[in-house]
Amino acid sequence: MKKTFLLLMTMTTLLMGACTQSQETGLVKSGEIWLDTDSNMINAHGGGILYHEGTYYWYGEYKGDSTYWNPKVPHWECYRTEAGGVSCYSSKNLVDWKFEGVVLPAEQNDSASDLHFSNVLERPKVIYNDVTKKFVMWLHVDSHNYAKAASGVAVCDTPTGQFEYLGSMRPNGAMARDMTLFKDDDGKAYHIYSSEENSTLYISLLTDDYLRPSGRFTRNFPGAYREAPAVFKHQGKYYILSSGCTGWDPNQAQYAMADSMLGEWKVMGNPCSGKDADITFYGQSTHVLKVGENSYMAMFDRWNKTDLINSRYIWLPLTFKGDSIDIAWQDAWSVSTLK
Ligand code: DGJ
């Protein structure tokens, strides 16, 4: 009896190890179930990571637990969950993540609020302003049928909330959906967003407090329909990783390079290699994290469109050969290789 119990326990442990991130060894297993330090599935989709004073903070969409199809959006498969707000997890090692709570909660009562659970709250990103000492969050806020196409802004004195919501706008008078933020070495910050019905990617310099567009912006890749932008800088060059525009379904990633954040941007091609590289390993870009002086990690969402809360995360090292980047599929890899 005791033997059978021990055997069962060993098999369960082995199975769990095979199916989840291996926290003992610091291994990242893309596409597998990822549990937080309380053993709950991590719920931080379309997100990004901020490194601040020795801790990583992962912010993402806190998806509701049931997915429905919104028939009022006829031109694409509009699967949705109720918006849960923006979650935050913290970690010292990029593998063990502690749930810090929902730092920008959805509004339960006021249906006129941007943050009402019936609306769309996607792709939150947070950067730190060294002058105002505020953590500044931007996110895509939309109506239930994606017609509002706006960006929301929230601020907080601490990384773990609660963030104060300041409101939304169409930045530079233009539509804004998928988005990211990029803070440059000189402290200037940029808001990068899909605009003009997603056909054109806008890069907009923010005001010094990061709360508004400064009015200086460029229109990039007109007519190319790029979504899911992720921006980073390496040895003085700027890079944008992005996806094509196919709803929740995967497509081929592409990256572009520039000498200045506002452009001109040169399209470089698909950075992915290995198994399923032509469809971004069934994923869609969301963020590229710089780790230490010279290492980068590319983050993707593998959407599960009919059960969105059960979407998975794909995290892979991003390496350079000269100016060219490579993101190679690996079933499992150790974060200790990021130095
Ligand atoms: C693709 C975007 O990248 C996602 O954030 C989400 O808005 C889906 N489209 C909705 O179909």
- Measured in angstroms, how far is the CA atom of residue 249 from the centroid of ligand 1? 9
Q: Rounded CA gap, 273 and 281, in Å?
A: 9
Residues within a 6 A CB radius of ligand 1: 46, 76, 122-123, 178, 227-228, 247-248, 284
- Mutate which of 68, 86, 178, 300 for ligand 1 pocket (most atoms within 8 A of beta carbon): 178
Question: How many angstroms separate the alpha carbon of residue 229 from the centre of ligand 1?
Answer: 12
Cα distances (angstroms) measured from residue 73 to each of 17, 78, 193, 247, 277: 41, 6, 21, 12, 30
pLDDT of residue 24: 58
Protein residue with its CA nearest to atom 10 in ligand 1: 247
* Tens digit of pLDDT at every position of the chain (339 positions): 444 444 444 444 444 444 566 555 789 999 999 999 999 999 999 999 999 999 999 999 999 999 999 888 878 889 999 999 999 999 999 999 999 999 999 999 999 999 999 999 999 999 999 999 999 999 999 998 899 999 999 999 999 999 999 999 999 999 999 999 999 999 999 999 999 999 999 999 999 999 999 999 999 999 999 999 999 999 999 999 999 999 999 999 999 999 999 999 999 999 999 999 999 999 999 999 999 989 999 999 999 999 999 999 999 999 999 999 999 999 999 999 997
Q: Indicate which residue's Cα is closest to atom 3 of ligand 1.
A: 228
- Residue 26 CA to residue 333 CA, distance in Å, equals 8
What residue ranges do the domains of the chain occupy?
41-337
Assigned architecture for domain 41-337: 5 Propeller (2.115)
CA distance 330 to 308: 24
Helices (H), the chain: 2-19
SS3 of residue 185 by DSSP = coil
Question: How many other CB atoms are found less than 10 A from the CB of residue 139?
Answer: 31
Q: Which residues contact 235 (CB under 8 A, 6 or more apart)?
A: none
C-alpha atoms less than 13 angstroms from C-alpha of 242 in its C-beta half-sphere? 29
Query: For the whole model, what pTM was predicted?
Result: 0.94
Query: Is residue 208 helix, strand or coil?
Result: coil
**Residue 191 class from Cβ within 10 Å (0-12 exposed, 13-18 middle, 19+ buried)?**
buried
For CA atoms 301, 155, 86, 178, the dihedral sign is negative
Q: Give pLDDT, residue 15.
A: 46
Judge contact between 124 and 118, C-beta under 8 A. Answer: no
User: How far apart are the CA of 321 and the centre of ligand 1, in A?
Assistant: 31
CA 55 to the chain's CA centroid: 18
